[in-house]
Structure 1
């Protein structure tokens, strides 16, 4: 990494931290919205759908925007848009309707989609191609840090530890049922206010910072390239990468989003204990990112992707067979071995795309739509088979077969 890239990379690394805070608050919000909006696990899982569907709708328009302007412009717009979404939690606390929260998550996700469409290819371009996977894994380590902070600390600000129903609420509770719901609703506002303030601060810093233009941006300024190139999907390693990202993202989010539900509803842990386990779960993810980045000095990224995927197939099998606390500990292992998958697949998939890097990045980000359907399928199976709830983890198990194939053969550049 050359010194001239140190400051811009540091700024971009902060973006990975920010969108991790946003996306990894979703499992906590699913648990909280089950209480405030009186939802079951399947209904609450559409919180994920509202968030991740933005990643399917907007990457192409965002890539066109950045092609016309710059990575920097896209990042600043994304930061401000996500900040607006965070501030909307205050009027939503008065409305107290599930649809209002779904709209807010959609707005926040649209802003974060700007960041992710820009930051991933930008990091791979700031340096040599040989170290692109390692550099992106390092950047994604800050994503893991944000995930850990969301799980271990911010979740405790949101989850109050109370889990009353209309039937179990104490008769002398101040304000009755409405008072309880208002207390639970108000608990959601502070973390998103802090997130919005941080987003605005980073946006201001970036406005007055100079980010270097990379090769594909210099070509864009010549006016001789398309705003989006759909033909890039003919590149087999990119096409396989998009498929692998669809299934990886869906499998990861299925496990993430249902983690607290699994702990509280099926293992029977109290919320404060469940959030501690969730913190350890994300700490394992963070550790996996750091260790994986170091291991890539000696091992090829595609080989690590293949081995890690096989290990996770085995661990998901353990969850399916045993469930309970055994399954919970297996999930900690799954988190560790999932850690390198997204950035490794991303960097391998955009390798050798040249001026079509923004287009390739857009399609890879669109693959995150897996988060909007695979977790719902997992939640549906879990919710309708409560005696054998752990069998639902066959869904992420299948997903890891696709990541294993990509690390084995799919990454190869053939055309």
Structure 2
């Protein structure tokens, strides 16, 4: 049985890797779009809004689709849609308008939303509920690997290290300002071409590989008039609390992630090449946190780890707010390590004991990612209007980690 599950599980792990590549390219793209579309920090932050808005709009329709058909069909459709969106970077490089990029990120995110709505509950359903948090953390470690690759390597493909303005551009630059913008715009196409080709290959493999049905899929039968989405799951306290905790966790994590390069380059004054190296270390800390956290869950209760990690991150956010600068930068790397287990742990605790309600519950947990489209913008706005005390903006992630701590303390308990 285990041998039969090896290939399906390996393919599901690939999905965690792929959507991490997509979402963790956003901080790099924000920095690049500030240059190519001449945006300020607040304006560029709407790149995150366009991406994560899809995660609020589509999880319920996706859950209905997968309940009617299967996890597998939803995954294949999502992979294909995300690949289509990635290919659209080529016509966007001709248009060179900010709205075009926002539309592209929305399309890619819709495809990735299919993957995330399917993969998280699929992993939690293949095995005992007691080991689900650890199992999901192991799967999410591949998400951390994708984040590290996006930060350390693909970001260097996009960011050239040249940060000219109209006034500082060398007079002998080929093609002048338009030539410079075209070069910087073209650099955004390569990582998305690579991503699109990988997505297509994985979709073809999924098409031909048998994916075992989960327990809830085997037991569930659709009858005429039956609801494809169950809104009553929100009456379950530990799920409802989990949705709230996921909203704040996602917003806090993305606020730090998306503004990391802006923090380094704009406010601390670090060169881009050095900043991308720090971003790589930041994501490496996230990856190590996932692996180490998964091992620690053999001995410690996931909820207790969530509480302790949240408290540590609250303290680290206080360091960022008080000191800023390089001290704040090193504190952010610590935050990355300790927030690594939070998303999968909260997700699996919220799905505990839900049975055939899992797909509906998963949709609402994925919808909570709308926090990514709201809280980072608030953080960026505070940073933009208070350039002298820019680090005060990190009060928002601090509040987010307090909410996560409350969930690990009492909110997760099944009543």
Structure 2 counterpart of 1:110: 110
1:2–1:127 contact (8 Å) kept in structure 2: no
| 1:186-265 correspondence runs (5 A) | 186-223=186-223, 226-265=227-266
- Contact between 1:68 and 1:220, CA under 8 Å: does it hold in 2? no
Provide the C-alpha distance between the structure 2 equivalents of 1:107 and 1:156, rounded to a whole number of angstroms.
24
Q: Output aligned runs, 1:11-410, within 5 Å.
A: 11-223=11-223, 226-410=227-411
Gaps of 5+ in 2: none
After superposition, what is the alpha-carbon deviation per residue over 1:60-108, rounded to whole angstroms, capped at 9, x for unaligned? 0000000000000000000000000000000000000000000000000
Residue 4 of structure 1 corresponds to 4
The alpha carbon displacement at 1:222 in A equals 4.8
Q: Deviations over 1:309-351 (max 9, x none)?
A: 0000000000000000000000000000010000000000011
CA distance in 2, matches of 1:8, 1:404: 34
Q: Tell me if the contact between 2:52 and 2:369 (Cα under 8 Å) persists in the aligned partners.
A: yes
In 2: Cα distance, 1:220 partner to 1:56 partner:
26
Contact 2:68 2:222 in 1 (8 A): no
Distance (whole Å) between structure 1 residues aligned to residue 214 and residue 246 of structure 2:
25
Q: Aligned equivalents of 2:293 and 2:165: distance in 1?
A: 44
The change in CA–CA distance for 1:129 and 1:2 in structure 2 (over 3 A counts) is: farther
Alignment deviations for residues 250-308 of structure 1 (CA, whole Å, 9 cap, x no partner): 00000000000000001101100000000000000000000000000000000000000
User: Which whole-Å CA distance do the structure 2 matches of 1:31 and 1:260 have between them?
Assistant: 7
Contact 2:380-2:393 within 8 A present in 1 as well: yes
Does the aligned pair in 2 maintain the 1:260–1:278 contact within 8 Å? yes
Query: What SS is found at the alignment partner of 2:130?
Result: helix
TM-score between the two structures when normalised by the length of structure 1: 0.99
Query: For 2:56, what is the secondary structure of its paired residue?
Result: helix
* Cα separation, 2, equivalents of 1:222 and 1:96: 47
Displaced runs of 4 or more, over 6 A: none
Q: Secondary structure at the match of 1:144?
A: helix
- Per the normalisation by structure 2, the TM-score is 0.99
Distance 2:263 2:214 in 1: 45
Report the alpha carbon displacement of residue 215 of structure 1 after superposing the two structures with TM: 1.6
- CA RMSD in angstroms comes to 0.9
Offset, 1:127? 1.3
Question: Which secondary structure does the structure 1 equivalent of 2:168 belong to?
Answer: coil
Query: Is the Cα–Cα contact under 8 Å of residues 66 and 74 in structure 1 kept in the other structure?
Result: yes
Contact 1:17 1:143 in 2 (8 A): yes
Paired with 1:213 and 1:142, the residues of 2 have a C-alpha distance of: 22
SS of the equivalent of 1:163 reads coil
* 1:117/1:361 contact within 8 Å kept: yes
1:4: how far off? 3.4
Q: Deviations over 1:204-244 (max 9, x none)?
A: 00000000011211233353753100000000000000000
Query: Cα offset for 1:380?
Result: 0.2
Any stretches of 5+ residues in structure 1 without a counterpart? none
Judge conservation of contact 1:86–1:108 (CA < 8 Å) in 2: yes
Following superposition, the deviation at residue 408 of structure 1 comes to 0.3
- State the alpha-carbon separation in 1 of the partners of residues 402 and 5 from structure 2: 37
For residue 135 of structure 1, report the CA deviation from its aligned partner. 0.5
